Chains A and B, each alone.
Chain A
Amino acid sequence: MTTTTTTATTTELVPYDDAVARFDPVLGLEVHVELNTASKMFCGCPTEFGAEPNTQTCPVCLGLPGALPVVNAKAVESAIRIGLALNCSIASWCRFARKNYFYPDMPKNFQTSQYDEPIAYGGWTDVDVDGETVRIEIERAHMEEDTGKSLHVGGATGRIHGADHSLVDYNRAGIPLIEIVTKPIEGTGADAPAVARAYVAHLRELVRGLGVSDVRMDQGSLRCDVNLSLRESPEAAYGTRSETKNVNSLRSVERAVRHEVSRQAGRLAAGERVVQETRHWHEDTGVTTSGRSKEEAEDYRYFPEPDLVPIAPSPGWVEELRAALPEPAAERRSRRQSEWGFSDLEMRDVIGAGALTLIEQTVDAGATAGAAKKWWLSELARRANDEGVSLDALAITPTQVAGVQALVDSGRVNDKLARQVLDGVLAGEGEPEEVVESRGLEVVSDESALASAVDSAIAANPDVAEKIRDGKVAAAGALIGAVMKDLRGQADAGRVRELILDRLVRHGES
């Protein structure tokens, strides 16, 4: 059903701390990962993000009459690898099923998915949450296809409600998705939001490590639905849950859980009941609002997809894939932490920022771990934040970051200039070297130029020079400032200081 119900959202929110003091939250997370295969799940169309509308479709993914699906072998392989990395059992025999419901962005009006026979089931993964390990049980990981994208026109701000029509682009329709579903996550108490965030960050690193998806939350190649319910006590039965759809940044995952805890606590405290429904997350206001009510539960009329035949992965194939799995995330983390000598806190920031792989690659390109971390977690993190994208979405590669650091190490640029080099690279002006050239950012190392700048500064500020001669060395700062200003910052401040003191103090002594 797609009937929208307006459930009372007037109830007071209960402050988070009071809410978790009074109720026990139970979490469930459904993550959809878009695979980075060359072709779609059931046809040969490309999967590139951001192509011109409706240029990556064919009779199959457009759902034209007569067209038939054929399974992409690579997508099945990726699904099995994800399942194995999550310590799941791999089904020895499974099928696709049709999930029947009408929606304009779904060309066939059924989604080819998996129902009671997922390819991977019954796994677990250990997530680091503020230094302690939390084991998340995985219910299942199954294969399905993505839908098209709708542009809502007219009415308010491109929002679906109030729009007077929609424009549909089917380029995304049929891109392979792996849906990863956790078992109910209990006993997290007040940490529920942190656990939810840490799990999604962990999953993102794990999948990126497998190389089967871009896991770009900002581009929707990793999407998260948050299920949450409250109960009086850990002993009590589960409460009614809400499903908050498309929570698409780590920060939002954390905020959405916090908000739902406060909201549901508010309803329960007011003696109202929580409605089982789909809710929408609003990034801007940080609240969820009611979507489809599930009071009148959907009837998807699942049945085995007759146009596809069963999949029976041979044990040999599965073992081959298992043997080729990359190092488990936890082990990789602790290995890197000791290699790099980061504190637990530093490592947590690295994981939280999704920078583990980026830093590894920057180190491989020649930078020290410390320097790599400094750039990614401070300067670049700030820029990513301003642009509202994830770190790996920035227009700069780990190799380029290492290049910038190399310029600093060689003394050719100082930190201030290095930041301008980053700006240049991010602005697409080329490699760090080229930016230094084109923007003329090299520090002045030519002694005579430095000397004359120092002399003119002394000449221009006789009284300051006098103070320094009288031993007030601290006053040198003013002259250094003048020289740096004169050289537009392109000088090594330390060297300038030396020259000034040579002239004013050491002379005096000799």
Chain B
Amino acid sequence: MSDSTISREHVAHLAHLARIDLSDAELDHLAPQLAVILESIAEISTVAADDIPPSSHALPLENVFRADENRPCLTAEEALSGAPEVDQQRFSVPRILGEGA
């Protein structure tokens, strides 16, 4: 963690994970910029002792549930209203590679 440098290749890999087709120019620009940002936050690793519990939430709520009851749905028209492409009352999407995880 001490070294907060980040290679252009690594940024390209992250961009793929995030599904952003960054241009070469952006990659050139972003890699050093991220390195600077990471440098400035590198301190983080040295602040908290091991026995400090992490907080995922600002306030400690627990057990918030809803009853198993139906609420009104959107109509198919409303559901599909923003879709770039619709066919047979379904969202039409480009061909899918491989399988979902």
| Alpha-carbon distance between A153 and B66 when the two chains are bound, in angstroms | 38
- 8 Å CB interface, B71-100 against A: 71-76, 79-80, 87-100
Residue B47 CB within 8 A of the other chain: no
| Alpha-carbon distance between A25 and B31 when the two chains are bound, in angstroms | 47
Q: Which residues of B contact A (CB under 8 A)?
A: 17, 19, 56-57, 61-76, 79-80, 87-101
Are the CB atoms of B71 and A2 closer together than 8 Å?
no
Of the candidates B62, B79, B80, B91, the one whose C-beta lies within 8 Å of that of A312 is B62
Are the CB atoms of A151 and B90 closer together than 8 Å?
yes
A68-76, A254-262, A266-274: which lies at the interface: A68-76
Are the CB atoms of A70 and B91 closer together than 8 Å?
no
User: Would you give 14 A-B contacts (Cβ < 8 Å), ordered by A?
Assistant: A44-B72, A45-B73, A54-B90, A57-B73, A73-B65, A76-B65, A93-B62, A152-B95, A163-B96, A165-B95, A167-B92, A245-B99, A303-B56, A312-B63
Are the CB atoms of A72 and B68 closer together than 8 Å?
yes
| Alpha-carbon distance between A480 and B67 when the two chains are bound, in angstroms | 66
Are the CB atoms of B68 and A52 closer together than 8 Å?
no
Instruction: Give every chain A residue within 8 A of B98 (Cβ-Cβ).
Output: 2-4, 160, 291-292
Contact with B along A185-213 (1 / 0, CB 8 A): 00000000000000000000000000000
Of the candidates A45, A53, A103, A309, the one whose C-beta lies within 8 Å of that of B100 is A103
Taking CB as reference atom, which chain B residue is nearest A71? B65
Are the CB atoms of A280 and B71 closer together than 8 Å?
no
Q: Which residues of A contact B (CB under 8 A)?
A: 2-4, 37-39, 43-46, 52-59, 62, 70-76, 93, 95, 99, 101-106, 147, 150-154, 160, 163-170, 245, 278, 280, 291-292, 298-301, 303-304, 306, 308-312
Are the CB atoms of A304 and B99 closer together than 8 Å?
no
Q: Could you tell me the dominant secondary structure of chain A's interface residues? A: loop
User: Given A43-B71, A71-B65, list of 20 further CB < 8 A pairs?
Assistant: A2-B98, A38-B70, A39-B68, A39-B71, A44-B71, A53-B76, A70-B64, A70-B65, A73-B65, A99-B101, A104-B91, A104-B96, A147-B100, A151-B90, A165-B92, A166-B94, A168-B90, A168-B91, A245-B99, A309-B57
Of the candidates A4, A70, A102, A163, the one whose C-beta lies within 8 Å of that of B19 is A102
Are the CB atoms of B61 and A309 closer together than 8 Å?
yes
| Alpha-carbon distance between A147 and B100 when the two chains are bound, in angstroms | 9
Are the CB atoms of A170 and B69 closer together than 8 Å?
no
Are the CB atoms of A73 and B66 closer together than 8 Å?
yes
Are the CB atoms of A72 and B91 closer together than 8 Å?
no
| Alpha-carbon distance between A58 and B78 when the two chains are bound, in angstroms | 9
Are the CB atoms of A168 and B93 closer together than 8 Å?
yes
Shortest beta-carbon distance, A490 to chain B, in Å?
A: 49
Shortest beta-carbon distance, A499 to chain B, in Å?
A: 63
Are the CB atoms of B93 and A104 closer together than 8 Å?
yes
Are the CB atoms of A74 and B64 closer together than 8 Å?
no
Are the CB atoms of A3 and B88 closer together than 8 Å?
no
Instruction: Give every chain B residue within 8 A of A72 (Cβ-Cβ).
Output: 65-66, 68
Shortest beta-carbon distance, B58 to chain A, in Å?
A: 9
